[in-house]
Structure 1
Amino acid sequence: MHAQRYLDMYRSAGVAGAVADADPHALIALLYRGARERIRTARAALQRGDVPRKLAAVESACSIVDGLRMSLDHAAGGAIAAQLDALYDYAVRRLVEANSGNDDAKLAEVDALIESVESGWQAIRPAATARASACAG
């Protein structure tokens, strides 16, 4: 019991450190990663029959995706922001459906959708970050 609490504290501190040091692009990447981690947690809990853990993980994933949705700049983002808004709305609806129906396939679908957007996001890293990485490597 104590080991799990310490593991949770370690993870929390690790995330807090990553957030403190992150630029806006990296923060969005952390949100994608967090949403996908929650979905994987929900899938594992579903397979184990751990309903409270599944519920908590799905609720957390929904909150993260809603946060991504609220961060969209529709004025600057135009059609891309509108498409992402629709995708995030769909993802949250599918997560709710997956939760209520204990549907692993829907959880896997949303994980794949977010993975696709996450990959695209990583591909458009700001030029300054890309140059710094190139110099460091």
Structure 2
Amino acid sequence: MNTRRALNSYAKVSCEANIGVASPHELIQMLYDGALQRIVQAKGAIQHNQVGVKGKKINETIAIINGLRENLDLDNGGDLANNMEMLYIYILSVLNKAHQKNDIALLDEAAQLIGNMASAWREISPSKVTESSL
């Protein structure tokens, strides 16, 4: 068996198992982490001139950010939810530009913004996060 395929299979099963038992707070953290991992992979793809991989990884990151954005509670989240939506929209535009221009610096900018959000998310008490607040 191909070692790379075995590792990918293990990672997929491990991730699916974690999703099944994760709290809402942990799920959001997993999404941030997944977005950051895909940005790193996209940067590597640019460096190795792997256009297809770059596109796939940036598109996966965009899908994650869109998922986070679509699940904001704009009706009850007040200014915080609105500000997060604006930040997500900005990150999406940065990712699109990075994709068009093969620009690692733009990927770094998106990663920094997502990393800051992930750090702030880690500081939130998991007991304050419920499925209805996502």
- Give the TM-score normalised by structure 2: 0.91
Alignment-derived partner of residue 50 in structure 2: 50
Aligned ranges 1:1-137 → 2 under 5 Å: 2-127=2-127
Structure 2 unpaired stretches of 5+: 130-134
Gaps of 5+ in 1: 130-137
1:8 CA displacement:
1.3
Q: Could you say what secondary structure the match of 2:76 adopts? A: helix
Give 3-state SS (helix, strand or coil) of 2:125's partner: coil
Q: Which has the higher contact order (CA 8 A, sep 6+)?
A: 2
Mapped to 2, the partners of 1:83 and 1:75 lie a distance apart of 13
Percent same amino acid among aligned pairs? 35
Deviation at 1:56, TM superposition (A): 0.5
Q: Which amino acid aligns with 2:49?
A: G
Aligned Cα RMSD in Å? 1.6
Residues 50-96 of structure 1 deviation map (CA, whole Å, 9 limit, x = unaligned):
11111100000000000000110112211010011011111111101
Q: Which amino acid letter does the alignment assign opposite residue 33 of structure 1?
A: D
Partner of 2:132: none
Secondary structure of 1:16's counterpart equals: helix
- Supply the distance in 1 between the matched residues of 2:3 and 2:56 (Cα, whole angstroms): 20
Matched positions, count? 129
SS of the equivalent of 2:91 reads: helix
Q: TM-score, normalised by structure 1?
A: 0.89
Residue 125 of structure 1: CA displacement? 2.4
Quote the offset at 1:4 in angstroms: 1.9
CA distance in 2, matches of 1:128, 1:76: 15
SS at match of 1:76: coil
CA distance in 2, matches of 1:128, 1:78: 16
